[in-house]
Amino acid sequence: MPSRPHPLSATARRARQARRWRVRLDRGDLRPAERQRLQAWLADDANARAYQAVDALWLDLDAAPALGPQAAALRRWSPRAAALSARGRPRALAAGLVAATVAAVAFGPGLGRALQTDARAGVGEQRTVTLDDGSRLVLDTGAAVDVVYAGDRRAVRLLSGRALFTVAPDPSRPFVVSASGGTVTALGTVFVVQTRPLADGGGARVTGVDHRIRAVAGGSTRDLGPGQTVAWTWGRAVSAVAAATDPNAAGWTDGSLEFEGEPLAAIAAELDPYARERLMVLGSARELKVSGVFRTRDPLGGLMALDRKRGLRVHRLPGLVVVRAD
């Protein structure tokens, strides 16, 4: 079927593309090839002007420091403070992008990570991948994996995000998942592995769903079964085995997240990876206790419902949704 002309004007299209690039930069999930495409896109004067306008609005928000360390790195090279000529702007923006990429290396597997992924789930997407041996992976939003099957070993690297692993039994070939400085070996069939942001210490959390698994990190080993969980940070030992009380540890696979009396700020942090716009909760709304089920395919729908039911105000800005109390 032939494609229809895009209904937006050229200016509106550039603005939307600029917002998307800005959000992707802040999320820190651009791959090397995408960063090259962004530099090429910025080489056009009109595109560069559109990006600069979005960047200035984004960084002028009073709450910008809450966006985290990657936003702080981006502020250091923001072009808004320099009065650039039309000829010099694209070159300066492209150079700034490279500087931000180098600076972000300090934040671990964010902007500075050069990945070669075999499978990846996009923003708001949950993707199911079936491997050659029949093992199945369900990748949550933003998750990326690298699969290495060789000889007597089945290895998967979870590079970002979280995934549910349903492993085909094969005692002659162990199934090992590596993530953030640790490994998980399937002694049974079903488990969840989730990487954690470097700002939270990095590492990963593992939850057993069916049968047993073995977690190894920092020179320590823990075996756990269904309904149990462990975690580790980079270079540290695996935590003691505990009961998995988070209903979303594996519940996310049905496309919903359940919360019971959780602060709205914590809920927004859980929903943020599923949204195409960054979510931010300000002021007294951060501590508002909320219970409910949110659909991962429409995370903003639940926030809009709170707007009506709980007296909150939801403001949509380019690339950003801000929630605050009246």
Summarised one tens digit per residue, pLDDT across range 48-98 is 877 777 665 554 343 333 444 434 433 333 333 333 333 344 444 444 444
In a domain, 190, yes or no: yes
Dihedral-angle region of residue 151 (phi above 0 means left; psi in -120 to 50 means alpha; beta otherwise): left
Verify that 259 and 242 share a domain, yes or no: no
Verify that 221 and 317 share a domain, yes or no: no
In a domain, 68, yes or no: yes
Task: List the one residue out of 254, 124, 231, 250 whose CA is nearest residue 179.
Answer: 231
Angle at the Cα of 148 from the Cα atoms of 166 and 28, rounded to 5 degrees: 85
Verify that 165 and 245 share a domain, yes or no: yes
Per-residue pLDDT, 134: 92
Q: Give the DSSP H/E element, type plus range, for residue 66.
A: none
Range of the domain at 260: 255-325
Rounding to the nearest 10 degrees, give the CA dihedral for residues 276, 280, 286, 290: -10
> Which residue matches tokens 């000829």?
87
Verify that 220 and 127 share a domain, yes or no: yes
Per-residue pLDDT, 54: 66
The answer to whether 55 and 77 have CB atoms below 8 angstroms apart is no
In a domain, 134, yes or no: yes
CB-based burial label for 159 (10 Å; 0-12, 13-18, 19+): buried
In a domain, 18, yes or no: yes
Verify that 69 and 140 share a domain, yes or no: no
Residue at a domain's end among 76, 107, 138:
107
Q: For residues 21 and 123, give the distance between their C-alpha atoms in angstroms, rounded to a whole number.
A: 13
For the segment 14-39, what is each residue's pLDDT rounded down to a tens digit?
Answer: 877 887 787 777 666 678 788 888 88
Q: 159: domain CATH number?
A: 2.60.120.1440
Verify that 235 and 138 share a domain, yes or no: yes
Residue 114 CA: distances (Å) to CA of 24, 181, 185, 256, 265: 15, 17, 26, 31, 31
Per-residue pLDDT, 41: 87
User: Can you give the pTM of this predicted structure?
Assistant: 0.62
Verify that 124 and 93 share a domain, yes or no: no
Question: What single DSSP character describes residue 212?
Answer: -
In a domain, 187, yes or no: yes
First to last CA, the chain: 48
Per-residue pLDDT, 124: 85
- At position 233, the amino acid (one-letter code) is T
Number of structural domains the chain divides into: 3
Verify that 127 and 186 share a domain, yes or no: yes
Q: For residues 248 and 255, give the distance between their C-alpha atoms in angstroms, rounded to a whole number.
A: 10
Q: What is the CA radius of gyration of the chain?
A: 21
Q: For residues 279 and 66, give the distance between their C-alpha atoms in angstroms, rounded to a whole number.
A: 11
Verify that 19 and 93 share a domain, yes or no: yes
Strand order across the 204-210 sheet? 127-130, 136-139, 162-166, 190-195, 204-210, 228-232, 242-243
The answer to whether 323 and 284 have CB atoms below 8 angstroms apart is no
Verify that 283 and 232 share a domain, yes or no: no
In a domain, 2, yes or no: no
The segments of the chain whose pLDDT lies below 50 read: 1-7, 59-115
Which sign does the torsion angle of CA 204, 299, 13, 122 carry? Answer: positive
Give the SS3 label for residue 172. Answer: coil
Residue at a domain's end among 107, 140, 174:
107
Q: 320: domain CATH number?
A: 3.55.50.30
Per-residue pLDDT, 5: 40
Give the SS3 label for residue 260. Answer: strand
In a domain, 269, yes or no: yes
